[in-house]
Amino acid sequence: MKVLYVLHNFLPLSVHGTELYTYYLAKELSKKHDVHVFFNLTDPAETKSLVRGVYNDIPFTAINTNIIRYPDYTPPGHRHLIIECLQELLSSFLPDVVHFQHILNLAPEIVKSVKTRKIPIVFTLNDYWLICHRAHMIRKNKKPCYSANQLKCMLCHYYNSKSWLPKANTFNLSINCLKKSYWHCLKEYENLRYFFDGRFREMRDIFQLVDFFISPSNFLRNIFIRHGLNPDKIMHCKNGIRKIEYLRKHGMGRFQFGFMGGTAYHKGGHVLVKAFEKISDADLHIFGVVDEDKKYEFLNGVNNPNINFPGFVSERAKQKALSEIDVLIVPSICFESFSIVIQEAYMSGAPVIASDIGAMAEFVKDGVTGLHFKVGDYKDLRRKIQYLIDNPQKVEEMRTNLPKVKTIEENTVEIETIYASVVSHK
């Protein structure tokens, strides 16, 4: 079988959950099938518009549009180039199935361009981007958003961008200035309304065009069904991860907590730092923060010598890092669609403290495999941290309850079955 993976970015330039999962899945699948990856190369140093190569035995074709910060669609001028390059690849590679992992920074029309060739399409929903233009379903007040529609999304973008504010150092309250501000706001409102009407139509078209959707969590599946996706077209199937043998260290004395989530606001690191401000009898290791300026911004005035920044953790170094922490903390303020790091923590033998929403609440059983805390509430998180410090036997108890983690090998067998099913119904 020939399988084409399509996604927004890829290794080694972009090392995030979707890219890593796609790579490991493609690597495992390539043992028995022909696999190719098509992605958008966001590399301003690359001069070629089309880059072909091989990454660790995985052949790829990358379209280089030099897009660095487009929060939603690619500009119209680039869409034709993306579709043209994909069509050429479809003609040369002749895939039996196309598996989309993400289409951010690509053109939504590429799904239709595949469908017109009557090639079966599978789409893994790695976040909420087909529903939410911000991908994480967070409202302007930084609270989770449980439903999306054109008006809500338009106002969310409107307020977050602050583009409607008068572009001046001081407010000029003259009649002429107020008139200009009014017409400026009205024009932006109409532009946004036109954009979001189009976006919702295109995304609903994708709901129809795709043959089968895969959701890594039940929570995400239910959200998409609530937003109009046919429940018969979407299956809950956890992502698999690499099987790693962890050597857990015991008798380390002080409690060791860990965080692996990046400095993006929606990952909730600011909540964790504030929660740890008054914790004196344990250590917190924040993996991934390297830049000194970003580190101080991340701390936001919190001064606790027990908060450590070991730096960026490669995939290989992650094994050692997870083996040396007692509890992992996942304080995201967004729902999360799936958390690889929770599965990795379980595989390493570490219970998890997580926000009580989304896939985190689904994968962490409160009081059994870890603890829940009220999302965004640093005081509640602090109480849960202190509870485990004061009751170390509870951590040992939860460690015995940790679930078996699905490996990428097991997941590949499931994915192969899905491919066979959609190909047979071609």
Between 185-194, 256-265, 384-393, the lowest mean confidence (pLDDT) is in 185-194
Residue indicated by tokens 């001028």: 77
User: pTM of the entire structure?
Assistant: 0.88
214 is a domain residue: yes
Residue pointed to by tokens 């054109």: 150
Q: 298 with 326, same domain?
A: yes
In order, the DSSP letters of 206-246 are HHHH-SEEEESSHHHHHHHHHTT--GGGEEE-PPPB-----
Domains: count for the chain: 2
What is the model's pLDDT at position 168? 41
230 and 295 in a single domain? The answer is no
Domain that includes residue 306, residue range:
255-399
Whether 212 and 79 share a structural domain: yes
Q: Is residue 236 domain-shared with residue 276, that is, in the same domain?
A: no
Q: Which residues does 375 contact at the CB level (< 8 Å), separation at least 6?
A: 144, 268, 332, 333, 355, 356, 357
Residue 282 predicted with pLDDT over 80: yes
For residues 125 and 107, membership in a common domain is answered with yes
Same domain assignment for residues 215 and 91: yes
Considering the domain boundaries, does residue 143 fall inside one? Answer: no
List residues bridging with 123 in a β-sheet. 100, 213
In the three-class reduction of DSSP (H, G, I as helix; E, B as strand; rest coil), residue 305 is classed as coil
230 with 332, same domain?
Answer: no
Per-residue model confidence as pLDDT tens digits over 195-231: 788 888 999 999 999 999 999 999 999 999 999 999 9
Is 236 found in the same domain as 92? Answer: yes
Query: What gap in Å lies between CA 285 and CA 280, rounded to an integer?
Result: 14
Check whether 288 has a pLDDT greater than 60.
Answer: yes
Burial of 37 by CB count in 10 Å (0-12 exposed, 13-18 middle, 19+ buried)?
A: buried
- Does a structural domain hold residue 386? yes
Report the candidate in 341, 326, 313 with the shortest Cα–Cα distance to residue 281.
Answer: 326
Question: Looking at the domain assignment, is residue 173 inside a domain?
Answer: no
Whether residue 369 sits in one domain with residue 269:
yes
Q: Is residue 358 predicted with pLDDT exceeding 90?
A: yes
CATH of the domain at 32: 3.40.50.2000
Residue 399, pLDDT above cutoff 90: yes
- Measured distance CA(287)–CA(276) in Å, rounded: 15
Which residues make Cβ contacts (< 8 Å) with residue 68, sequence separation at least 6? 42, 44
pLDDT digits (tens, 9 = 90+) for 89-146: 999 999 999 999 999 888 889 999 999 999 999 999 999 999 998 888 988 778 889 8
Name the nearest CA neighbour of 22 among 105, 113, 98: 98
DSSP code at position 402: P
Structure tokens at 125: 């929903």
Our CA dihedral for 41, 45, 51, 53, rounded to 10 degrees, sits at -90
Q: Tell me whether residue 335 is exposed, middle or buried, using C-beta atoms within 10 angstroms of its C-beta: 0 to 12, 13 to 18, 19 or more.
A: buried
How far apart are alpha carbons 47 and 43 in whole angstroms? 9
Q: In which band, very low, low, confident or very high, does the pLDDT at 76 lie, cut at 50, 70 and 90? A: low
What mean pLDDT comes out for the span 47-60? 91
Inside any domain, residue 171: no
Give yes or no: residues 235 and 294 share one domain. Answer: no
* Position 245 in a domain: no
DSSP 3-state of 89: helix
* CA 51 – CA 29 distance, rounded (Å): 23
Query: Is the predicted pLDDT of residue 158 greater than 50, yes or no?
Result: yes
Give domain status of residue 233, yes or no. yes
Q: Is the peptide bond before 120 cis (omega within 30 degrees of 0)?
A: no
Determine the pLDDT at residue 176: 63
Mean per-residue pLDDT of the chain:
87
The whole-number pLDDT of residue 400 equals: 95
Q: What is each CA distance from 323 to 21, 174, 242, 342, in whole angstroms?
A: 21, 64, 15, 13
Residue 147 included in any domain: no
Examine the pLDDT at 171 and tell me if it is beyond 60: no
Asked whether residue 55 falls in the same domain as residue 119, the answer is: yes
Confidence of residue 71 (pLDDT cuts 50, 70, 90): very low
β-sheet with 50-55: strand ranges across: 50-55, 58-63, 34-40, 2-7, 97-100, 121-124, 212-215, 234-236
Do residues 235 and 321 both lie within one domain?
no
pLDDT band at 177 (very low <50, low <70, confident <90, very high): low
Out of 134-143, 326-335, 349-358, 368-377, least confident range: 134-143
Each residue's pLDDT tens digit, 11-40: 988 888 899 999 999 999 999 999 999 999
